[in-house]
Structures are given as structure tokens and as C-alpha cells.
Amino acid sequence: MKALAKVVQGPGLELTDMPDPTPGPDDVVLKVARTGICGTDLHIETWDDWAAKTISSPLIIGHEFVGEVVETGANVTKVKVGDLVSGEGHLVCGTCRNCKAGRRHLCANTRGLGVHVDGAFAEYAVLPEQNAWVHKHEVDLDVAAIFDPFGNAVHTALAFPVLGEDVLITGAGPIGLMAAAVARHAGARHVVVTDVSEPRLDLARKIGANLALDVSTHKIADVYAELDMSEGFDVGMEMSGQPSALREMIANMTHGGRIAMLGLPANEIAIDWSSVVLKMITIKGIYGREMFETWYNMSVLLQAGLDLSPVITHRFHYTDFADAFATARDGRCGKIILDWTGSVDVRRDA
């Protein structure tokens, strides 16, 4: 099969021939239909310090995907050949305290598909049955391919109740955009999204944000009067990992405000802890998805009419992966999809 892999240690990726995967007794094999490019894939392709410390080659990368089950292991009982499946990319141990208590998203021994074991940027991929989310209802393949980051967005957006609340989202990357859509769908009064990229702020407007603010030219507090706010935001979702974004969020939270923090800082962040204490702000770290409550929520949201189509801006055939990665790295885009089934002439810009 063809696969996109880190063949040797160092920058770059190679589209190469790899053996077709065979399932273990508890695994399923998928014929991959679509995959999504993640920031993690960009780190691996660039070969930054994190990738050099984390990745062993050869490795098939990729952890955002959807495909059809074509083979199952001997012990597989619930997933069937022909099922359409998106994959949970966090592989948990199943034996630690949190796993045994049903809190698998808190497993301290988590390994990553496409990071620690072969991933899904290939014509076929193997996945443990317990990590397979079978789509019971009709779903667009492009959307099904990004259930992994969609799950990050849902996990963050629903970390605190947003019904009737004023919500601030810092960072208009794909996950921030999806979180904005979820917050609006869940009944937030106002959703304000901040960034410094006008193309991404424009996507925030398309996805339904009440206000998309360029913080390189405007202050967050300037929106209070426009939105009839008096005390600050009730719920914050920090998606950027930027120190200035977290500091500004804390400064603009109301007393008793709650912050869900998904953005991963590259370095330590100095913040005004006195504001956190005196305003009694709650800060909650978010990682991945709750397995599988978040997945259930995702499917229900889509069935209830949540539209994620504005988030997906570019589609490429997998043979055009170099252009796809260059587009993702440029940053003036939403989510980018690789098609593993269609003809080579599938590039479409939304």
C-alpha cells in the first residue's frame, strides 16, 4: 500500500510503499477514505525538537481519519466489515487507575496513533476495536475525518455550561473555530473569537461568531459596549498557546469566570495569579477527548444540525501532500483534508 511516512530521522516526509497491515486479535483494518492534517503532523514533517525527541522512524504518520472496515481480528465482536469508522487516536493502557474507573482520557500511559505507532496516512490502517467510533448516521466523509480535532473542540466548548453566557475564544485555528460553532449551537449569548490572522477571523465570522477581533489592532475590552457587557466574559476557551492570549483572557473574565485551556504553550507563561485568586477564576486543562462521551456528543451535535463545513477550506489528493502541508503551514486556512480514494484531480479550495 501507499503510505505517507517519516522514513528516516530528519525533515520531510515520503510517500512510499509499505506492507498492508494485518489485524491483531482485537483490531480492525480500515480502507482509509479521508484524513486531516494536524499541527502534530506539521511538527513531525518539519522535524522540530519535539519531533526529534519523540518520533522513531520508520513511522506512518496521521491520526485524523475515517475509513471503511475491511477486516477484523478474531476477538472483534461489535465492529463489522463494512462499518464506516472514525478513529480515536489515543491508545490507552486499560489497566491504570483512571482507565479502570472509566476515565480513559486521563490515562497516564497514553500512546498516540501516528506518533508512537503507525498512523492513518495510508491506503489502509489498523486500529484497536475499542478505539473505533462507528458512524450510525449519515455523515460527510470530510467531517468524519476530523472527528479527532472536532472532539478537542467539543471537549473544550462543553467543559463548562455556556447556555446564555458570554464566551471568549482566543485562537481562530480549526479547533477554535469548531469550538465557536459548538458554543453558539449550545446557546451562548455572545461568542467572541480573537486572532491576528484576518483569513482565520473571516472563517470565524462564517462559522457564526458574533464578533471576530484582530487583537493586534483592538483591545478585547473594547467590545463590551458593543455587546452590552458590563463585567467581562463568563467562559473562556484558550486555544492559541500564546502567553499574551492567556493574560488578556484572565484580565477580561468576570468574577467567578471559568477558563478551559486547550492551547499548549511552548514555554512557561507568567500570569497575574492575584487576578485569578481575587476574581475566583477556574482554569481547567483540556487534553484530547473524553472516551467516548465526547464522541457521542459530536454525533448528536451533527444530527442536530451543527454545520462544520466552513472550517474545511482545502482538499487535496494524497499524492499532492507537499502542497497540502505547505498550505497548512502557511496558516491562512482552516482544516485541510487528504483524499485517499478519489482521482488525483480532487483539489478543491472552499
What does the alpha-carbon distance between residue 125 and residue 297 come to, in Å, rounded to a whole number? Answer: 25
Residue 282 backbone dihedrals phi, psi, to 5 degrees: -95, 130
Residue 334 near residue 312 (C-beta atoms within 8 A): yes
Annotation: binding site: 38, 63-64, 93, 96, 99, 107, 175, 195, 200, 262-264, 286-287
Residue 122 near residue 4 (C-beta atoms within 8 A): yes
Q: Which of 22, 35, 40, 155 is catalytic?
A: 40
Neighbours of 223 (CB within 10 A): 20
Alpha-carbon separation of residue 70 from 79, 123, 340 (angstroms): 10, 12, 15
Active site residue 40: yes
Residue 133 backbone dihedrals phi, psi, to 5 degrees: -100, 110
Torsion of CA 308, 312, 318, 322, to 10 degrees: -150
Q: Which grid cell sits at 111? A: 500512546
Alpha-carbon separation of residue 275 from 3, 248, 253, 282 (angstroms): 50, 11, 10, 11
Neighbours of 112 (CB within 10 A): 15
What are the strands of the beta sheet with 211-214, ordered from one edge?
211-214, 190-195, 166-170, 233-238, 253-261, 282-285
158, amino acid identity:
L
Q: Which of 22, 35, 43, 254 is catalytic?
A: 43
3-state secondary structure of 245: helix
Annotation: binding site for NAD(+): 175, 195, 200, 262-264, 286-287
Active site residue 317: no
**Cα dihedral 269, 271, 277, 281 sign:** negative
254, amino acid identity:
T
Residue 199 near residue 310 (C-beta atoms within 8 A): no
Annotation: binding site for Zn(2+): 38, 63-64, 93, 96, 99, 107
Q: Which residues are catalytic?
A: 40, 43
